[in-house]
């Protein structure tokens, strides 16, 4: 329907353009009008009927036209000799003729458009009629399909009902079969229970007999075990006595050997201590001699003066510090003793030279008595 309205719109626009073109041409004078006389104004003209064609048909007809052939221009005609009144009458007649022709074409176009519109309305009515018919046919098809579906559903329901009835019959048969099987199983269970009870009674009798036999055997075993334990106790007592005697002998021997080893170790330690003490005395004498060699006697010093000096050494024997801890009563003598110790540094004792006794001289005291 939309396509038809668009086509109708374009047809109306095309006819309007043609009408405007005809009106424009009617107002332009032509050479033919100049040859008309006044009698032509009274002549009746036949109205030309127009036919509306589509744009595609117009383009096809235009394409079939032969190519225009170039012709030489004709010589200009001599100017006619007419009066102005005849020319004006001819022009007015031509304009009237063109207006009538344009009106006739417009009426023909409107008639064609009305006919096209009527045709489109009839086509739309036919289309709606066909659509209604198709809708009724579709509704009938759906009704038939629904009827078929209901019939199939009913057949399926009956089929399912029959299946359910058969299943119920099978269930009842299976239930009866199960009941019979359970009854048979119960009978067999009761028979098996009676057999088991008889077997249990026999087992208990045999167990009681076996228990009595085991108790007698256990009594005999316990008696034999007791006898063996008593014999083992006597053997262990004798073994313990022998071990104690051997232990006493070994302890006496170990005590004697340990006493000998301790005496030997004490003798070795005493000898080592004596050697160490002798080494310390030797080093001390060397230190005192070296300090005395560096000592400068003060003027105020008198005979029999002495002071106690405390010295700290580095591992190389270098004197780290020296201080008089017990004064001689003479300050100059005490100061000279400290200066002598510093002047004697490094002292003749170090880790490298006297590793065995150096620990005794890291921090020591000695009496300076020149």
Instruction: Write the CATH number for 335.
Output: 3.30.1150.10
Examine residue 182 and state whether it is found in any structural domain, yes or no. Answer: no
Give the domain-ending residue among 147, 172, 188.
Answer: 147
Give the domain-ending residue among 91, 113, 147.
Answer: 147
Check: CB of residue 324 under 8 Å from CB of residue 351.
no
Give the domain-ending residue among 127, 147, 167.
Answer: 147
Examine residue 234 and state whether it is found in any structural domain, yes or no. Answer: no
Examine residue 319 and state whether it is found in any structural domain, yes or no. Answer: yes
Examine residue 18 and state whether it is found in any structural domain, yes or no. Answer: yes
pTM of the predicted protein model:
0.32
Domain span at 323: 295-368
Examine residue 280 and state whether it is found in any structural domain, yes or no. Answer: no
Q: What are phi and psi of 130, to 5 degrees?
A: -65, -40
- Show pLDDT as tens, one digit a residue, over the chain (370 residues): 666 666 777 778 887 888 787 777 656 544 443 343 444 344 444 444 555 556 676 677 666 655 655 566 667 766 656 588 888 999 999 999 999 998 999 899 889 989 999 999 999 999 999 999 999 999 999 999 999 999 999 999 999 989 989 999 999 999 999 999 998 999 999 999 989 999 898 999 999 999 999 999 999 999 999 999 999 999 999 999 999 999 998 898 888 888 888 888 888 888 877 888 888 899 899 999 999 999 999 998 888 899 999 999 999 999 999 999 999 999 999 999 999 999 999 998 887 877 778 888 889 999 998 8
Please name the residues in contact with 47: beta carbons below 8 A apart, sequence gap of 6 or more. 100, 101, 104
Please name the residues in contact with 18: beta carbons below 8 A apart, sequence gap of 6 or more. 105
Examine residue 323 and state whether it is found in any structural domain, yes or no. Answer: yes
Examine residue 50 and state whether it is found in any structural domain, yes or no. Answer: yes
Task: Give the torsion sign (CA, 124, 126, 131, 136).
Answer: positive
Examine residue 140 and state whether it is found in any structural domain, yes or no. Answer: yes
Check: CB of residue 356 under 8 Å from CB of residue 346.
no
What's the token pair of residue 20?
A: 């405007």
For residue 257, CA distances in Å to 188, 237, 249, 251, 270 come to 91, 30, 12, 10, 20
**Domain tally, the chain:** 2
What's the token pair of residue 358?
A: 């150096």
């Amino acid at each position: 329907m939309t396509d038809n309205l668009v086509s109708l719109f374009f047809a109306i626009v095309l006819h309007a353009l043609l009408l405007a073109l005809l009106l424009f041409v009617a107002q332009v004078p032509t050479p033919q009008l100049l040859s008309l006389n006044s009698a032509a104004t009274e002549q009746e003209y036949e109205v030309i009927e127009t036919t509306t064609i589509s744009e595609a048909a117009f383009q096809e007809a235009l394409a079939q036209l032969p190519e225009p052939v170039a012709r030489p221009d004709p010589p200009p005609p001599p100017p006619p000799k007419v009066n102005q009144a005849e020319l004006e009458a001819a022009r007015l007649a031509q304009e009237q003729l063109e207006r009538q022709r344009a009106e006739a074409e417009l009426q023909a176009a409107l008639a064609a458009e009305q006919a096209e519109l009527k045709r489109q309305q009839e086509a739309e009515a036919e289309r709606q009629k066909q659509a209604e018919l198709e809708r009724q046919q579709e509704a009938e098809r759906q009704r038939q399909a629904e009827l078929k579906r209901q019939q199939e559903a009913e057949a399926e329901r009956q089929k399912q009902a029959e299946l359910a009835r058969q299943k119920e019959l099978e269930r009842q048969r299976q239930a009866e079969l199960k009941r019979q099987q359970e009854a048979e199983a119960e009978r067999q269970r009761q028979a098996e229970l009676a057999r088991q009870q008889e077997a249990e009674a026999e087992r208990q009798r045999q167990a009681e007999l076996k228990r009595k036999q085991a108790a007698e055997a256990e009594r005999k075993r316990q008696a034999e075990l007791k006898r063996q334990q008593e014999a083992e106790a006597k053997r262990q007592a004798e073994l313990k006595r022998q071990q104690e005697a051997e232990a006493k002998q070994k302890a006496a021997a170990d005590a004697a050997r340990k006493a000998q080893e301790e005496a030997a170790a004490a003798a070795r330690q005493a000898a080592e201590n004596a050697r160490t003490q002798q080494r310390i005395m030797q080093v001390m004498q060397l230190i005192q001699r070296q300090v005395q060699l560096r000592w400068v006697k003060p003027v105020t010093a008198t005979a029999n003066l002495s002071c106690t000096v405390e010295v700290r050494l580095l591992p190389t024997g270098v004197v780290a510090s020296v201080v008089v801890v017990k004064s001689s009563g003479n300050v100059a003598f005490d100061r000279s003793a400290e200066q002598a110790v510093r002047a004697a540094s490094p002292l003749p004792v170090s880790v490298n030279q006297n590793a065995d006794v150096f620990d005794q001289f890291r921090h020591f005291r000695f009496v300076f008595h020149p």
